[in-house]
Amino acid sequence: MGPRLQGNSGGEFNSISGGERGTLGSTIQTLFLPPNTRPSTLLPPFKYFSSMPLISVIIPTFNRSDLLRRAIDSVLSQSFKDFELIVVNDGSTDNTEKTLAEYNDITLLNLKHNSGVSCARNRGVKHSGGEWVSFLDSDDQWLPNKLQEQVEWMFHTPQCTIFQSREIWIRDGKRVNQPRALRKKEGDLFFESLQRCSITPSTVMIRRSLFEEHGGFDEALPACEDYDLWLRITASERVGLVDREHLIRYGGHPDQLSLSTPCLDKYRVYALQKLLSKEGLNGTQKTATIDTLRKKAAIIANGALKRGNLNDYQQYIKLTV
């Protein structure tokens, strides 16, 4: 029968909602159990008596009806159940709406126009209610215990406001080994984040207040939006790591942003310039950021010169000095 459509004339989206949130009744009962008998699926105990879900899961999608079902099913089959699932249809023109109509237990935001992954994720968070937020790209897949094991880790590490997990890589249908430099790490990731995106959005769990404090994803960026956000966050926050594989990350299909967007370093340079324009970096961080900016600008300038693009060359060569 599908979820119920609620009209929203004049707005930027229509909302489709369905299903029930959380497991409040079962959770309240565990208050009277000794700690060593509390079912692990109902952790953490500090969530008791809340009518809102502990976790909001956000899936942004654009024209991926053939892949979307796998992503949604991997969330709905999680062993941990105190979450809400919000799918943001970013102006899809394929069969995405037909696919989503099969589900009763999701909330759907239909954006009228394709606005990009940053906008889709931000809108999802804005209309969610969880204390924690997790993202899943519509071409990826969670393993069944992803939320369960992350929540248990969170319960034992309450001071951590952002953490991630390890992942399995599939390229063109075959599992591949990750280069050592790209394996997920924990701790102070700022300097590593200058070189590359050190956090995978589809494995991260972030406290809502931290996400909102840093303004969410930059909607001016069509790509490298995660590089930008993690830089802003890791400048002041340490990142935790749940040392287990929780994500199957698929690659090799033609609509990947990293494959379909040219000259990604331009967006990274933008992110670095923005980072330098605001206060908050210490001396060592600022020096490293300037050095990275100069190197990336030099790469763009040299490439532009080879292609005879003098405008780009002149624009970026100025940033190398």
**Domain harbouring 233, CATH code:** 3.90.550.10
Residue span of the structural domain in which 273 resides: 265-320
Report the alpha-carbon distance of residue 37 to residue 32 in Å, rounded.
10
Same structural domain for residues 176 and 38?
yes
Same structural domain for residues 197 and 180?
yes
Count of CB atoms situated within 10 Å of the CB of 192: 17
Domain boundary among the residues 232, 256, 280 is at: 256
Same structural domain for residues 64 and 88?
yes
Q: pLDDT tens digit string along 143-202?
A: 999 999 999 999 999 999 999 999 999 998 899 998 988 899 999 999 999 999 999 999
Same structural domain for residues 160 and 278?
no
Same structural domain for residues 159 and 296?
no
Domain boundary among the residues 235, 256, 277 is at: 256
pLDDT of 251: 85
Tokens of 119: 């906008």
Same structural domain for residues 159 and 21?
yes
Q: Determine the average pLDDT of the residues in 314-319.
A: 95
Residue 6 has pLDDT above 80, yes or no: no
Q: pLDDT tens digit string along 11-39?
A: 444 444 444 333 322 222 222 223 333 33
Same structural domain for residues 50 and 70?
yes
| Amino acid, res. 97 | E
Tell me how many helices (H) and strands (E) the chain has. 12, 11
Same structural domain for residues 210 and 287?
no
Same structural domain for residues 168 and 279?
no
Tokens of 36: 């060593």
Same structural domain for residues 148 and 246?
yes
Same structural domain for residues 220 and 272?
no
Q: Do 132 and 91 form a contact (C-beta atoms < 8 A)? A: no
Question: Residue 289: CB partners within 8 Å, gap ≥ 6?
Answer: 194, 272, 275, 276, 281
Domain boundary among the residues 229, 256, 283 is at: 256
Q: Identify the band that residue 119 occupies on the pLDDT scale cut at 50, 70 and 90.
A: very high
- Per the listing, tokens 């690659």 go with 251
Number of domains in the chain: 2
Same structural domain for residues 238 and 278?
no
pTM of the model: 0.84
